[in-house]
């Protein structure tokens, strides 16, 4: 006889099997849900990645289109703008001149050339620290095009006019007709103290402060170009007097060596740099408008 409250073994076995099946089913459902969640995450990541790739492709295509438009405008500007050829004499005219003296030759705006300095003059610091010594740098501008161009210098310079001699040019615009050349020179004037400071830098293996003469050329179009030409001048005309502290004099000549390869004051004309404008009046650069560096040298 089976007692009340007691379960047969087969009932317990069936219950255990059912419990195991239930646990297995729950585990399978959990694993299935986890797999579905993982697939959803993967799908979402793929969608985000695909969206980012599509956006990047669109950005690349937009940049490419903008660059093509910018290059097209740049080519049109180049076709109507002539490069000039600028050269500078490697060495300066010797001897330097006394930039403290201004010679008036017939009017307050008509200045003559300052006198050359004597090579045997000794400049003593600090007494002569503010005395101005100037050097002349010769240069040429060649306009090979058939069109007249207008150049503008930022400072005074002297034009060498055949049959007329030196002609002082004011800062500002000057026309250069097509297929002609302009020759002249500009002055670099510094006090003795600055020339001495440059000598110290060069003795330490450094270039020292460089002077720069700049002129620009602009075409007539608002959407056009402005070209900049720079001439750099480095070195010093002074040398220290060996047996006297604080005493300086002019170099005996314009070169440091017998073979005349190393000027004491040297000049170099840098390649022209062209800046493109979508609008000069609004100071809107072409590369700013189209997101590309379209400057050209």
The per-residue pLDDT for range 50-85, each reduced to its tens digit, is: 666 666 665 666 666 667 766 777 888 888 888 999
Residue, of 113 and 210, whose pLDDT is higher: 210
pLDDT at 2: 45
Distance between first and last Cα of the chain = 113
Considering only CA atoms, which of 189, 187, 186 is closest in space to residue 130? 189
The per-residue pLDDT for range 229-273, each reduced to its tens digit, is: 999 999 999 999 988 899 999 998 888 776 667 899 999 999 999
Kindly list the distances between the CA atom of residue 191 and the CA atoms of 132, 194, 195, in Å, as whole numbers in the listed order.
Answer: 4, 6, 7
Per the CB < 8 A criterion, the answer to whether 201 and 238 are in contact is no
The Cα–Cα gap between 98 and 58 comes to 65
Per the CB < 8 A criterion, the answer to whether 210 and 163 are in contact is no
Which pLDDT band, with edges at 50, 70 and 90, does 108 fall under?
very low
Which pLDDT band, with edges at 50, 70 and 90, does 27 fall under?
low
The per-residue pLDDT for range 187-217, each reduced to its tens digit, is: 999 999 999 999 999 889 888 889 999 999 9
For strands 225-235 and 172-176, give the pairing. Answer: unpaired
pLDDT at 189: 92
Considering only CA atoms, which of 113, 139, 109, 102 is closest in space to residue 214? 139
pLDDT above 70 coverage of the chain, percent: 69
Residue, of 154 and 139, whose pLDDT is higher: 139
Overall average pLDDT of the 144-160 stretch: 90
pLDDT at 106: 45
Please determine, for residue 6, whether its predicted confidence score (pLDDT) is greater than 60.
no
The Cα–Cα gap between 125 and 133 comes to 14
Which pLDDT band, with edges at 50, 70 and 90, does 43 fall under?
low
Please determine, for residue 290, whether its predicted confidence score (pLDDT) is greater than 70.
no
């Amino acid at each position: 006889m089976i007692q009340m409250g007691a379960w047969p073994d087969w009932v317990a076995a069936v219950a255990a099997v059912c419990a195991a099946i239930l646990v297995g089913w729950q585990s399978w459902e959990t694993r299935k849900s986890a797999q579905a969640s993982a697939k959803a995450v993967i799908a979402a990541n793929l969608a985000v990645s695909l969206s980012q790739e599509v956006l990047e492709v669109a950005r690349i295509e937009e940049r490419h289109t903008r660059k093509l438009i910018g290059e097209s405008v740049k080519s049109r500007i180049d076709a109507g703008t002539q490069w000039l050829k600028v050269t500078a004499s490697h060495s300066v005219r010797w001897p330097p001149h006394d930039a403290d003296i201004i010679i008036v030759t017939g009017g307050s705006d008509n200045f003559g050339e300052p006198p050359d300095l004597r090579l045997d003059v000794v400049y003593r610091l600090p007494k002569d620290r503010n005395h101005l010594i100037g050097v002349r740098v010769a240069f040429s501008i060649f306009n090979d095009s058939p069109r007249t161009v207008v150049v503008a210098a930022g400072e005074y310079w002297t034009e060498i006019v055949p049959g007329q001699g030196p002609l002082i040019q004011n800062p500002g615009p000057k026309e250069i007709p097509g297929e002609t050349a302009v020759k002249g020179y500009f002055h670099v004037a510094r006090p003795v103290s600055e020339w001495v400071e440059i000598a110290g830098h060069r003795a330490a293996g450094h270039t020292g402060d460089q002077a720069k003469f700049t002129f620009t050329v602009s075409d007539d179009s608002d959407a056009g170009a402005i070209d900049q030409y720079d001439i750099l001048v480095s070195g010093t005309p002074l040398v220290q007097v060996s047996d006297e502290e604080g005493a300086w004099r002019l170099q005996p000549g314009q070169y440091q060596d017998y073979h005349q390869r190393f000027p004491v004051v040297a000049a170099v004309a840098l390649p022209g740099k062209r800046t493109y404008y979508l609008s000069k009046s609004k100071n809107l650069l072409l590369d700013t408008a189209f997101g590309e560096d379209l400057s050209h040298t």
